[in-house]
Amino acid sequence: MSALRKVLLYSHDTYGLGHLRRNLAIARYLLRNQPGIQVVLVSGSTVADRFSLPSGLKVVQLPPVVKVGVDEYAARDGQLSLALVRRARSAVISDVVRRWRPDVFLVDHAPQGMKGELMPVFRALGKHSPSTRVVLGLRDILDEPARVRSTWEADGVYDTLDLVYDRIFVYGSPEVSDVVTEYGIEGPALQRLSYCGYVAAEAPPKCSLPPGLQEGEPFVLGTVGGGADGARVLEATLRAAAELSVRPVVVTGPLMAAPDRAELIALAGQVPGAVIVEHLPELPAVAMAARCIVTRGGYNSLCELAPLGVPTIVVPRSWPRREQVLRAEAFAQRGLVEVVEEHQEETDAFQSRLAAAIGRALQAPLYIGGESLDLGGLSRLTEGLVETCSSPKAAPGLGSEEDSKLVGAAL
């Protein structure tokens, strides 16, 4: 039996900001509520320095990759092959494991890591730190259930869940998304799985005003996460705000392409009172002061924004996964958001639909009802990690040679 003293967080970070933001929220909560704990985050994000990092958190940078399709990635440095970068990432994580020997290795979202990069790490754990508890934090919705099942079956993920993971915590609620049924989780993995509620940064104690606005001045907030594919949504938000004579505040995100950002800045110059910024460190606090929010349907965005009581319009990303569409629809069914889908071939129609939705939101009461979300994920996850660390290991691990076929399948 051992105490929870050292936690290693894995965040593959190949697209957007969601994984990084979720892991920073977990790290901050652990460091604040578990005296004496040490937390290390291994991350592929190139923009971690744009965020306020929790005091005491150590970040290990992985060679960055970028998502280019469904389960397809490329090295961000175009001169390097993905195979080389993947091996380098595995080596970095394995080195941290060997040197630090964490009590808990908490894997975010991807059971085998990006393109199986964690499989050698699991072998390293078995050899150098066999007492480390390996824990999976599984997002509420991954993709269309049939696609997830097919991918997991082809890649041997079900075997990995059974052999590697001592605990599986679903970052969500079965009332919103029944992960067990949707993705066919059974056997040993099912016995170690539990729902902990939604895991997101704690709600701000009070609202904050965006730059340049006075208290009580109504505004529409447009935010698209990292911003890599959000320019069209923010353009429509700016045009709708001009049509409705309300001030827009748009957040482009640090990953938006420079030409897209330049075009938005030029458009904002034509909209009275428009404010455009790359990043707001305390975005939920600003969102609390808005009359309406336009956002993508990412996990963190909806967990943080939907419960604020501000009318929220979601324009979900539908490529390369339908995860955001499915989540937005589930939240809409609970009365928490309105969904406006984006269809690439009809720009004018999309802008009209978004403007109509914003107009309805501006006429709505300042507080919007709907079924509440279970937002106790951070505290329950922490309790679960403490319990897991003080209990005998449940999974046999990948230390034996007969398990090498799983590594080969993944790599």
d(C-alpha 19, C-alpha 13), whole Å: 6
Q: Which two tokens stand for residue 248?
A: 């827009």
The pLDDT score that the predictor gives to residue 408 is 47
The pLDDT score that the predictor gives to residue 203 is 82
Give CA angle at 60 (58, 62), nearest 5°: 160
Using pLDDT thresholds of 50, 70 and 90, give the confidence band for residue 406: low
How far, in Å, are 10, 77, 97, 259 from residue 84 at the CA level? 19, 11, 20, 31
Using pLDDT thresholds of 50, 70 and 90, give the confidence band for residue 345: low
Q: How do residues 346-393 score in pLDDT, each as one tens digit?
A: 888 999 999 999 999 999 876 666 788 999 999 999 999 999 999 999
Among all chains, which residue has been given the structure tokens 């291994």? 42
Q: How do residues 88-99 score in pLDDT, each as one tens digit?
A: 999 999 999 999
The pLDDT score that the predictor gives to residue 68 is 81
Instruction: Go through the domains of the chain in sequence order and give each one's CATH number.
Output: 6-199+376-410 (3.40.50.2000), 219-363 (3.40.50.2000)
Give the global pTM.
Answer: 0.94
Q: How do residues 238-259 score in pLDDT, each as one tens digit?
A: 999 999 999 999 999 999 999 9
Using pLDDT thresholds of 50, 70 and 90, give the confidence band for residue 205: confident
What are the b/e assignments for 209-218, b being 16+ CB within 10 Å?
A: ebeebeeeee
The average pLDDT across 118-141 equals: 97
